[in-house]
Structure formats: structure tokens, C-alpha cells
Amino acid sequence: MLYFILFITLFCILYTSQVKAQTCSVDTFQRNECGYAGITQDECTSKGCCYDSSVGSSSGIPWCYSNGINSEYSLSQLSPTDYGLQGILTISKGQNSIYGEDIKTLKMEFLIENENYFRLKITDPNDARWEVPSQYSDRPTKTHKVNENDIKYTWEINDNPFTIKVIRKSDKAIVFESSPIIAFKDQYLEITSVFSGDMNTYGIGESTRLNHALKTNMMYTLWNIDMPAKMMDFNLYGSHPMYIHHESGSQSSYGVALYNSNGIDVALGDGYLTYKAIGGVIDLYGFLGPSPEEVVQQYTSLIGKPNLVPYWSLGFHNCRWGYEDISHVEQVVKNYSNAKIPLETQWLDIDYMDEYRDFENDPENWSYTDVGKFIDNLHENNQHFVEIIDPGIMVYKGYDAYEQGNAANIWINGMDSNPYLGQVWPGPVYYPDFHNPNTQDYWTNQLANYHKKIPTDGFWIDMNEASNFCNSDGTGQTCMNPDPENCPTGDDATQTDCCLKCTTIDETNKLAFPPYKIGNKQGNGNLGTKNIDMTATHYGNETEYNLHNMYGIGEAIMTYNAMAKITEKRPFLVTRSSFIGSGKFTNKWTGDNAATWNDLYSSIISIMDFSMFGIPMVGADICGFMDDTTEELCARWIEVGAFYPFSRNHNDRPSAAQELYLWDSVTDASKNALGMRYRLLPYLYSLLAEAHWLGSTVARSLWWNFPTDKGTTGIDSQFMWGSSIMISPVLKEGATSVDAYFPSGKVWYRFRLNDDESSDAYKMEVDATEGGKTLTLDTPLTEVNVHIKGGSILTLQDAKMTTAESRDTPFTLVTALCQHGKAHGTLFRDDGINMMDKSDEGTQVNYSAEMISKEGKRKETSTSIVITSEVVSDAYAKDEIKYIIITAVSGLPDASSLNNIHTKLVINKDSKTVLTHQDDCKITALASGALKLEFNGLDFNVNKNWSLEVSY
Ligand code: MIG
């Protein structure tokens, strides 16, 4: 029997290795599609291709494939330039005509653009090719020369075959190493980075996943499309070809980005990452880090740092598709207020439009007078209003947006040079070409005229992939409207059925059907599927093929500029479609999720991805967009969503209502979670402002803040705000507890909405100084676990019904000491409304605290805690500090010995104020053991230098 099993095993090994050995021994990442999804093994092998279904159907890796490209180039004429090196690449091996002819001679530039990042650019010296134009990013048009000693990397270049390796000087880590295989054809570029070690790859989006670290042996496709976010592992609305590598437990990270707007497949193998782009040039940047936070700062310094968001946008937003009329919405706003759930901003979806036309309200249900009054009321209550706008402009005689667009000649054109006709909600539409500089005036005028009637505080820019209800198989080209009377809604047809008749594109057309087919998951995968046809043209005769992924950023830039001009305040935008650099102009929501527990879980991962992509103000639709939510799911969702940087409940038209006040438990959960959010607003705003000024992130993974703690690897169910607040929500149906991981090296304190004397707020939950710990935390339906990392100083205000009211309450400074009795924190404060050129137009403060034990004359030890405020800039003066909380650490006096405490507060060096607990400063001890100091009648504002000594 044993022999028999051995024999069978041996036979299997021999057999499989033999099959593989035939032609098919190629790494999964190198496979080229040879069939189509669903091809049978017989059909595949009869085409002479290899078949292997073991990679599974969700990996995106072809089952039926041919061996990959293996062309190599050799380098010659390497010479220094002002900004680095350049040389000529000549194909030296593996020339082929898979996906088109090889471009045999290339120009290679290695550019030292910055001490912290490099650029590898490979272009065709004989033919100018499409490159992302400079107006879409902060990329310098002229490079500045970096002082040689400042460069933080070295490089090794191999001539034949050409490879390049970039090494970080500080620790010799390899930041980028190319494989010898390079392909450069008109419509196919391939470059691979190789790496070793137990590397986790993060980034490469937009996609919905249940794991933050990308799974290997998968193909990730980047091609913007109107595809519901609920679809796992599909290409979605945005393209961000950027990744960060981090080896579990290591100190070091680095990032790589391919600055390319064409359709891209990213194949991730074990130790390989291959970019396969179907156009443009190889324009690759490597960011040295070494912390992930520094990678993002370096990346955003190149692509554009995030926009400075208005303070009000940090409040809670309510939205839904399917409100019937303005009185319905008025009732919703009232209901929120009656339930005492803070509603900052009410949104309107496309319901308000007259036959779905932008800039025109339905006169019956959404009249200018009624909606105008509604907005006035919101504004009187310090609440805000945001409205949706879609890019497609209805082809409709006499409609101003249409007529003006014609007059200004700013549409995207079809192959026949007439405006490209597509179909979206209004029916037949033309699309403004946001690549055309003349579109700015057109767009600004349209928005300005509309804004006079509907003074919206922000715009929600949807459908900007741009979506098209026609061209569902991607083979349509020039479309016309055969029956204007019945288009869009003829007999039995709905608004979303295509009513245009389109000519069929010639199957030899290389733009619609490029030789390499990226793994676009929409319909049959053609690029034009549900999009504008690839042969359509933009300003300068640039093709949709090249510009497609940039339509959303183009719209964001022009809408941002328009709103900045119209309101003379910080614009507030939220987009669906995004690209490298979008964060400078717009914020983002993650699109059409569904009301499922998996969607709740994956939302945290999506938010962390967009932190990496330079769009920190991001959120998912709370309680789920598609499908009916449940009470439990909605309660758990607001507990997570209250900690999305952008916090909005949004619902699909056919789904059951899900406003937070509809269930008692959800109401309670909302009051608690949003209450904590509102208390933390000064901290959250500081993070978002720092993101704008420094390019840093807001929502972070645990590993991001604790890279050397292996225990944080793979934890996607908890996340942090900055480096101080950790959120550990319930993400499972029926669960009333959470196994939360507390990263190593720190003590962790409870954060609670209620911090009066009886509460356990600020109690030390766990001491993880000796190593990370997992704790099971009781978490009833209406609660969420929020912790403060020891070593933080946080600024809080009171939770109120609006951000404006919260802003009017005095500050509480929470000094959460670390195990060594130290803490620090920062505050950024400004009016939250006006545009700012420089950070010192606001107030910036650095806080620090230290506990010192002193030995007195008679060998008695006394302890003092010194907290200081060091002002960097003091332009904004409004906020007063009223409470200072010092968390319980061992040795702190308890309630019975408060009389032994002496405090001395010195505000500004010259104006000395000395206090004890008897007069201007009252001291109480909280149940948690924390001390709470209350100051009264002092000129104690956040823009002052001060120091407080608490001794006992
Ligand atoms: O074709 O405006 O993702 O949030 O509610 C659907 C209606 C158009 C898609 C957005 C969704 C929005 C919906 N829109």
C-alpha cells in the first residue's frame, strides 16, 4: 500500500513537472493572455497556448496564456547631464512582435530630482509620445540641481542587459531594482521591479479588497470605470499606480510610482512587480522613505499635496439618492436635530435636477426659492449644503450649458470631429473637455450663474470616469440620436437604457482594441465599455485613449478653480474618479459599496489606500449604498464611519431608508461615536492641515505607525488617526467584543465621549511597553473602542450639534503620558474657511510634557509634571484652554491627596501667573485616576507660550 502511494505521488510529480516543462514554465506575472475568460482547456491548447487554472478566477491572471515577453536592452553612451545621467538603450535580445513592434532604440534618463527620490525615464528619442502634462501635478518643469552630498541614494547600472539598482545610502536597502526584461512598443510598455525578503506590497488602486497588503500572484488593473466598489478585486473609479514596500517588522519602507495615465496592469508575483502600460512612457519614481509616512510626504511633494479642507467639512454629512422633494429633505434635517445627532451638511443627489440637467433645478419639487430657503436655514443653523454635479451636458436646444458649450467649442469630439455623443442621466450628452484650457471659463461661468441661485458650499463630482450608458460592449463609435422624442425613455425603456445608435468601430482600430488587452473587468473588457470611445479626441488632438484616466482630475481642477473664484473660500469637492495628484484639488468617496459586513470591513482598507495616494479626506458610504442595511450593520458602520476622515451616510435610490435616527440603537451609537469625533475635531483638523502643509497622512494602518512591531502586520480591522488615536471597531455580525491588538512599546488609554468624574475615560487600558498585546474588549452595540497612545498630547473641544458650536467651546488638553512620563503633540488652528498661502497664517503649537522626580533637601522625593506650549506661529487667537487632563500614571496623587498638589502656570515669559489649586485652578481626580485641572478667568489662549508645573 505504502509503495503504491509513493508510486502515485512520484507519478504525479513527474507528470506535472513534465506538463509544465513543455512550454509553460513561466512566472504567473509574465503570462500573456492567449484566450479569453472562460476558454476551455482544449480550445486553449489547440491554439498552441498553455493552460493553467490553478491561479483561480479572481486573480486576474490569464488561465490560457503564452510565454511572456523577454526582450532586453543594452545601454551605451552613458553620460552625465545637469540632473543625472542619460544613455541610449538598444534592444539586444528577445526582439518580438507580440503586442506590436519593439522600439529598438530608446533614451534612458536617470534623474536626480530630489535628495529623497529619483526618476527613471525611458522614452523614444525619435518620436514624442504622450506624457502626463505638467499642469496636472506639482512636478517641476525644470529640475533643480541637488547637491551631491545631500543625495540619499546611490545607484548601480548594468550595461548589458540594462538594469538599474537604486540603493538607500543610510542602510543599503535596495529601493528599486529592475529586471532585465523591458518592453517598449507603441502600445505596450513593460518594466519590472524585483525584490527579495518577506515583502508586503501596499497600494496600487483603486480596488476593493479584504486585505491591505496586496495578495501575490494577482493582477491588478488600473482603468477608471463606473463599476460598483462592492466588486472585490476589480478595477474601479480611480488609477493610482503607486506602491509602498514594507517588510514585516522592519524599520524601512520605500515607494515606487509609475507616472502614467494609460491603462495599466500590475502583475504582482513573489518577488516581482511588473507594470504593463498600454501607452505613454516609462516614467518611474522611487521614494526613499525610510518610513511610510516619509514616502507619502515625498510622493505628495511631487504630485501635489492634499487640499486644505474647510473645517465644517469635518462634520457629519447626510445624503441619499431618492429624496422626493425639498420638504422631504427638510424633514430629514429636522429629524436629525430632534434625535440630537449632529448633522453638519445635508447633500442633494441628482433628484434635484430638472430632467437631470446640471445647473437647473426641477421647478416643482426643488424650486430655487424653496431650496434657496432651505440652504439659508441650514446656514443660519451653522449647517452646510453640498450638491451633486455630473459632467455630461444634455444635448438640448436652448439649454444654456449646452448652448454655451457649443459656442465655446469645448466638447470632447468624436472620430468624425463632431462633439462626441454619449448618454448619461439626462439622456444624450456632450462631455466638456477638461483638458481644453478654454473649458475653465465655460465651467466657471456655468457654476457661477448657478451658484447665485443655489449657494452650495461644495460640489460632489460624480460619473467622471466619464461614465456612458451606451457603448456597453466597447465596440460603439460615433453615436447619433435616432428618435429624440423617445430618447432616453421610449416604450419600455428606462433612463439608463442606451437609446443612441452607434456605428461599430473597425476591429482593426488600435485605440479601441489595442494589441495588449488589460484586465478591465467591465463587460467584455474592452476599454471603451461604458466609457467614451477611445478614438474620441481632446484639446490638442489628444486621444481619449491617453487621457481617459485623467478625466476626473481634469474636472476636479476646473471645479476647484471655479469655486475658489466664486466663493473666495476654500473649495470643498468630493470626487468619484481620481488619478495621481487628485488630492490637491478634491476629496474622495469610495463609490458604490453595498450594505454588507464585508463592505464595512473593506472600507477601512480603501481609506488607508487613499491615505497613501495623497487623498487623506476620504470616506465610504456609511451604512452601505446598495441594498437594504440592517439596524446592527448601520450601528456598527457609523462607529467606523465616524472615524473616516470624510464621514457621510449615503444610500441608493431603491434601498430602504437609513438615516441614523431611524433606530434607537443607531441613534445611540451615532451620538457616542460622532460625539467622540466632534470632541477630537481640533486634533483631526490639525492632521488634515498638516496633510496639506506637509503632505502627511491622516488615517493610518497600525503597521504604518509601528513598522518594527511584527504583530501589526496584517491587522486591517483597526486603524489610527495620525499617530495618537487608535480605533478598534466591531466588524462582525453578532459580535459584542473585539480582539484588539495594542502595538508594542506603548501604554494605551481609553478615550470616551463622557469624561466626567465617574467615567473611566483616560484609564490605562493596557501596558504594552514590553510587547504588543491582544485584548478582548467588551463592545456593546452602541460602543466603539477608541484609545489614546501614551506619549500623546491631544487637543479637544466639546461635542456639539455643529462644528461651529464645537469650535466655540474651550479647549481641553489631554496629556497622555507615556511610560517614561513624557508626551508631545501639535496643534494647527486657523479660521477653517479662508484660503491660505502659508501655514503661518494660522496658529501652530508644539506641546510637550515631562515628568521629573526631584530629590529634596531631606531626601524626600517630589514629582512634578511640566507641560509646555511652544508657539510656532500665533496668527489665530480665538481659542481658550480651560481644562488640562493628565492621565493616570503610577505615582499620581489620588482624590484624597489633591491638596498636596501645587500648580504653577506661566503664560508668556513676561506675564507671570502663579496659581495654586485653591484659586484660579481647580483640581479633581477622575475615576480613572487621571487628574483634571480647570482654569478660570485667565487669558489662557492656545496661541500663547506657556508652561505649567504640577508638583506633588
Ligand atoms: O448612475 O447620482 O456613485 O453615489 O447616488 C448612478 C446617483 C449615479 C452614482 C454614485 C452614487 C449616486 C448615483 N450615481
> What distance in Å separates the CA atoms of residue 781 and residue 666, rounded to the nearest whole number?
9
> What distance in Å separates the CA atoms of residue 779 and residue 88, rounded to the nearest whole number?
63
The residues, any chain, with a CB within 8 Å of residue 529's CB and separated by 6 or more, are 225, 471, 472, 473, 474, 520, 522, 523
Name all residues whose Cβ lies below 6 A of ligand 1. 321, 349-350, 388, 462-463, 576, 591-592, 650
Name the residue among 465, 452, 358 with its Cα closest to residue 401: 358
Residue with cell 459632467: 391
| Edge-to-edge order in the sheet of strand 573-575 | 618-619, 587-589, 573-575, 458-461, 384-389, 345-348, 317-318, 648-649, 621-622
219 close to 519: Cβ distance less than 8 angstroms: yes
Name the residue among 639, 585, 645 with its Cα closest to residue 311: 645
Which positions of the chain have pLDDT values less than 70?
A: 1-23, 25-26, 29, 142-143, 856-860, 890-891, 916-919
647 close to 641: Cβ distance less than 8 angstroms: yes
Query: How are the residues of the chain apportioned to helix, strand and coil, as percentages rounded to the nearest 5?
Result: 25, 30, 45
**Mutation probe of ligand 1 site: the residue of 459, 462, 627 with most atoms within 8 A of C-beta:** 462
Phi, psi for residue 164 in degrees, rounded to 5: -140, 140
CA of 231 to the centre of ligand 1 (A): 16
The three cell numbers locating residue 664: 434607537
Residue with cell 518643469: 141
CA triple 100-106-110, angle to 5 deg: 130
Name residue 27's amino acid.
D
> What distance in Å separates the CA atoms of residue 159 and residue 910, rounded to the nearest whole number?
67
> What distance in Å separates the CA atoms of residue 339 and residue 334, rounded to the nearest whole number?
9
> What distance in Å separates the CA atoms of residue 542 and residue 327, rounded to the nearest whole number?
46
> What distance in Å separates the CA atoms of residue 84 and residue 97, rounded to the nearest whole number?
32
The three cell numbers locating residue 708: 518594527
The three cell numbers locating residue 743: 502595538
Question: What angle, rounded to 10 degrees, do the helices at 400-408 and 439-453 form?
Answer: 160
> What distance in Å separates the CA atoms of residue 678 and residue 797, rounded to the nearest whole number?
7
Closest atom, ligand 1, to C-alpha of 424: 1
Closest atom, ligand 1, to C-alpha of 576: 3
CA of 444 to the centre of ligand 1 (A): 23
Concatenated DSSP letters of 885-901: EE---TT---GGGGGG-
Question: What angle, rounded to 10 degrees, do the helices at 292-303 and 597-612 form?
Answer: 70
Q: Which residue's CA is the closest to the ligand 1 atom numbered 8?
A: 463
Active site amino acids? 462, 465, 592
Residue with cell 466663493: 567
Cβ burial of 407 (10 Å; 0-12, 13-18, 19+) is: exposed
Concatenated DSSP letters of 397-416: TT-HHHHHHHHHT-BPB-TT
Name residue 516's amino acid.
Y
> What distance in Å separates the CA atoms of residue 403 and residue 396, rounded to the nearest whole number?
8
- For the chain, first and last CA: distance in Å? 80
pLDDT of 894 reads 79
CA of 650 to the centre of ligand 1 (A): 10
The three cell numbers locating residue 761: 475615560
Closest atom, ligand 1, to C-alpha of 320: 5
> What distance in Å separates the CA atoms of residue 807 and residue 824, rounded to the nearest whole number?
22
Q: Which residue's CA is the closest to the ligand 1 atom numbered 5?
A: 321
The three cell numbers locating residue 699: 488615517
The residues, any chain, with a CB within 8 Å of residue 518's CB and separated by 6 or more, are 221, 223, 263, 264, 265, 276, 278, 525, 527
**Mutation probe of ligand 1 site: the residue of 467, 494, 592, 650 with most atoms within 8 A of C-beta:** 592
Residue with cell 514590553: 770
> What distance in Å separates the CA atoms of residue 347 and residue 531, rounded to the nearest whole number?
27
> What distance in Å separates the CA atoms of residue 659 and residue 333, rounded to the nearest whole number?
10
Closest atom, ligand 1, to C-alpha of 390: 2
**What's this model's pTM, rounded to 2 decimal places?**
0.95
How many alpha carbons fall within 13 Å on the CB side of residue 93?
11
CA of 165 to the centre of ligand 1 (A): 45
pLDDT of 492 reads 82
CA of 768 to the centre of ligand 1 (A): 45
Other CB atoms within 10 Å distance of the CB of residue 338: 9
pLDDT of 48 reads 80
**Mutation probe of ligand 1 site: the residue of 230, 237, 318, 349 with most atoms within 8 A of C-beta:** 349
CA of 462 to the centre of ligand 1 (A): 7
**Mutation probe of ligand 1 site: the residue of 236, 317, 321 with most atoms within 8 A of C-beta:** 321
Phi, psi for residue 4 in degrees, rounded to 5: -65, -45
**CA distances in angstroms from 480 to 419, 471, 732, listed in the order given:** 11, 12, 50
Say whether 437 sits in a helix, a strand or coil: coil
The three cell numbers locating residue 942: 492656545
β-partners of residue 165 are: 156, 177
Say whether 680 sits in a helix, a strand or coil: coil
220 close to 276: Cβ distance less than 8 angstroms: no
CA of 154 to the centre of ligand 1 (A): 48
Name the residue among 638, 586, 791, 614 with its Cα closest to residue 698: 614
pLDDT of 68 reads 78
948 close to 905: Cβ distance less than 8 angstroms: yes
> What distance in Å separates the CA atoms of residue 233 and residue 58, rounded to the nearest whole number?
7
Closest atom, ligand 1, to C-alpha of 592: 3
Other CB atoms within 10 Å distance of the CB of residue 317: 26
Name the residue among 490, 534, 478, 484 with its Cα closest to residue 509: 534
Concatenated DSSP letters of 492-540: T--TTS---EEEEPPTT-TTTS-SS-----STT--TTTTS--TT-EEGG
CA of 125 to the centre of ligand 1 (A): 44
> What distance in Å separates the CA atoms of residue 706 and residue 678, rounded to the nearest whole number?
26
643 close to 677: Cβ distance less than 8 angstroms: yes
Residue with cell 496584517: 714
**CA distances in angstroms from 691 to 139, 238, 300, 308, 557, listed in the order given:** 18, 21, 9, 8, 19
Say whether 472 sits in a helix, a strand or coil: coil
DSSP 729: -
Name residue 453's amino acid.
K
